[in-house]
Amino acid sequence: MRLQTRFQMLTAISLGTVLVLVAILGWTLRERAAAESADRLAESLNQELVERAMIRQEFFLHREGRSRELWERKTRRIQGLLELAGHAFPDGEARNDLEDVRKSFTQSNAFFKVLVDELESGSPGLASAAATEAFRTRLVDQALLANYQLFDGSRRLSEGTSARLEVTHQRTMFVVYVLAASVLLLTVLTLAVINRVLQQGLARLQQGTARVAAGDLASRLDLKGRDELAELGRSFDAMTSRLEGATCRLEEEIQERRQAEQRVARLNAELDARILDLQASNRELESFSYSVSHDLRAPLRHIAGFLDLLREHLGEKLDGEGDRYLRIVNQAARKMANLIDDLLTYSRLGRTELITGLVDQDALVREAIEVVAGNLAGRAITWDVATLPPVHGDATLLRAVWQNLLSNAVKFTRGRTPGRIQIGVEEVGGEICCFVRDNGVGFDMQYKAKLFSVFQRLHSGDEFEGTGIGLANVRRMIERQGGRVWAEGEPGLGATFWFALPAPEVAT
């Protein structure tokens, strides 16, 4: 049962009990008031009767008319009191007494009337004075007797009312005591019940919540019943369940995160070791390429140098075939030197640190065109140069990229009149894609994968000179800046070389 219902019922019972008791009290008080008024009435009746008796005595002594009037007035008053008493004494015994009083009253009145008439008429027809006197004496006696009976009745009536008054008084007091005791009892009882219910419920709640608060999320209150405390307990249990679930998930997550952190730390340690290794091998590579640049080049220089000295030394003795041999050796040495230079550039590109920033490509393209235009040897080239957006990258690398692509374009348009070279840009999906398009010899798309690899050439050295490293360098430079390269072409129709870099707002 719900606490609210319980408290309401308790209140209703208490109120009902009190109401009933108050009603009883009211009734007893009314009874008591009735008894009091009856008692007062009986007292007054007694009083009036005594006074009337004295008036009558006075009348017998003096026989004055005034006394008689007084007596009659008293009699009317008593008559009125008796009529009132008809309503005041509803119960049996008092009614009998009242009836006796009324009878005696009527008799006494009747005797008094006869006596008065007798006295006033003088002689009522009796022959002798003695007879008259005796008659009068008898009348007086009769009247007195009736009067005594009247007094007696009145007294009994009065006693009855007094007794009744006492009884109603006691009853009233009893009801008051019972009422007070009941109120006290009910109050104590109600408080005790409330106390018990709340104490027990709260104690269980308190113990349970204390367990949960101490961290035992698996414990449940499991309160039985359907009252508010049980509901509170169930809500608390539901909350604890969710809390337990959440804590569980959280702990799992923390565990996972910790493991992930450990993995990351382990990977980082490995990475650090790898970086050290890499740095060491990088240093090794650097010193390797350094010595290559010095030591590999020196013999070539000597070959070329002493060839020239030999040629001078032989002078006239050198015939046509000998001259051709010397030229071939010379060209081979020069080619080897170029290869070494390009390889060094290629390896340096992988090592040097990038100095990135916003790069104005228009300036780079102008510069590159100037450089390659110096080697045109009178060839006609039609340039079609679009305005290029700035990109995020390393200016030195980008300069090399443009020079490479443009000198390639110039080289492979040899034999076209005019050679057409177009420089353009497209911005697609956060990338800036620049291209160099020419109407040169082009290439077969099935070899496009080889274009950007070291030492891969699609044309023979007789047709177009070159080491086969230029486009590999371009790819390396673009990829180091976070971009990509590709090419399109068709044999005899020309080629388009693309490189794409992240647009500046996307690049970090």
Partner 1 sequence: MMIEIQRILLVEDDPNDAELTLEGLTRKGLANQVDWVRDGEEALDYLLRQGPHRDRAHGNPFLVILDINLPKLSGLEVLQRIRSTPELRLIPVVLLTSSREDRDLTAAYKLGANAYVVKPVRFAEFIEAVQELGVFWALVNQPPSVPVRP
Kindly indicate which of the ranges 34-42, 82-90, 220-228, 290-298 contains the residues binding partner 1, using the contact rule CB under 8 A.
290-298
Per the CB < 8 A criterion, the answer to whether 149 and 97 are in contact is no
Instruction: Round to whole Å and give the CA distance between 35 and 25.
Output: 15
Whole-number Å distance between alpha carbons of 489 and 438:
9
Piece of the chain touching partner 1 by CB under 8 A; list 57-65, 126-134, 291-299, 354-362: 291-299
Compute how many other C-beta atoms are within 10 angstroms of the C-beta atom of residue 239: 11
Cβ(32)–Cβ(258) below 8 Å: no
- 80 in contact with partner 1 (CB under 8 A): no
Report the alpha-carbon distance of residue 468 to residue 122 in Å, rounded: 186
The residue from 10, 54, 285, 307 that contacts partner 1 (CB under 8 A) is: 307
Stretch that binds partner 1, among 72-80, 300-308, 410-418, 494-502 (CB under 8 A): 300-308
Burial of 324 (0-12, 13-18, 19+ CB in 10 A): exposed
Task: Choose between 298 and 354: whose C-beta lies nearer to partner 1.
Answer: 298
Residue type, 221: L
Q: Residues 82, 304, 349, 469: which binds partner 1 (CB under 8 A)?
A: 304
Is 126 a residue that touches partner 1 (CB under 8 A)?
A: no
Work out which of 290, 325, 447, 455 binds partner 1, going by CB under 8 A: 290
Span near partner 1 by CB under 8 A; candidates 64-72, 194-202, 250-258, 288-296: 288-296
Is the distance from CB of 384 to CB of 422 less than 8 angstroms?
yes
Nearest residue (CB) to partner 1, 271 versus 309: 309
Q: What is the DSSP secondary structure assignment for residue 354, as one 8-state letter?
A: P
- Which stretch, 91-99, 141-149, 233-241, 307-315, contacts partner 1 (CB under 8 A)? 307-315
Our finding on whether 406 is near partner 1 (CB under 8 A) is no
In the list 302, 313, 324, 366, the residue contacting partner 1 (rule: CB under 8 A) is 302
* Nearest C-alpha neighbor of 86 from the set 46, 45, 147: 45
Q: Which is nearer to partner 1, 106 or 293 (CB)?
A: 293
- Which residue lies nearer to partner 1 by CB, 172 or 467? 467
Q: How far is the CB of 508 from partner 1 (least distance, A)?
A: 27
Residue 355 backbone dihedrals phi, psi, to 5 degrees: -115, 95
Scanning 292-300, 315-323, 384-392, 473-481 for contacts with partner 1 by CB under 8 A, the matching segment is: 292-300
By C-beta, is 118 or 341 nearer to partner 1?
341
Residue given tokens 């009527």 in the structure block: 106
CB 356, min distance to partner 1, A = 18
Give the x/- contact pattern for partner 1 in 327-366, rule: CB under 8 A. Answer: ------xx--x---x--x----------------------
- Shortest separation between residue 305's beta carbon and partner 1, angstroms: 4
Rounded to an integer, what distance in angstroms lies between the CA atom of residue 219 and that of residue 213? 10
Q: Is 479 in the site for partner 1 (CB under 8 A)?
A: no
- From the list 238-246, 301-309, 318-326, 416-424, the region that binds partner 1 by CB under 8 A is 301-309
Residue closer to partner 1 by CB (options 39, 342) is 342
Tell me if 308 contacts partner 1 by CB under 8 A.
yes
Using an 8 Å Cβ cutoff, are 446 and 491 in contact?
no
> Quick one: 467 exposed, middle or buried, by C-beta within 10 A (0-12, 13-18, 19+)?
buried
- Choice between 76 and 324, CB closer to partner 1: 324
Q: What does DSSP say about strands 484-490 and 419-428: parallel, antiparallel, or unpaired?
A: unpaired
Q: Is 477 in the site for partner 1 (CB under 8 A)?
A: no
Does residue 309 touch partner 1 according to CB under 8 A? Answer: yes
Cα distances (angstroms) measured from residue 387 to each of 47, 361, 425: 141, 9, 8
SS3 (DSSP) at 427:
strand
Is the Cβ of residue 200 or residue 282 nearer to partner 1 in the bound state? 282
Q: Are 259 and 267 in contact (CB under 8 A)?
A: no
C-alpha pair distances (Å), 126 with each of 116, 133, 135, 210? 16, 10, 9, 117
């077969």: which residue's tokens?
444
The verdict on 317 binding partner 1 (CB under 8 A) reads no
CB of 345 to partner 1, least distance (A): 9
Instruction: Kindly report the length of the chain.
Output: 508
- State the pairing for strand pair 494-502/431-438: antiparallel
Q: Could you report how far apart the first and last alpha carbons of the chain are, in Å?
A: 69
Distance CA 179, CA 249 (A): 64
Which member of 300, 369, 401, 495 binds partner 1 (CB under 8 A)? 300
Residue 326 binds to partner 1 (criterion: CB under 8 A): no
* Binding of residue 229 to partner 1 (CB under 8 A): no
> 340 or 425, CB closer to partner 1?
340
Binding site for partner 1 (CB under 8 A): 290, 293-295, 297-298, 300-302, 304-309, 333-334, 337, 341, 344
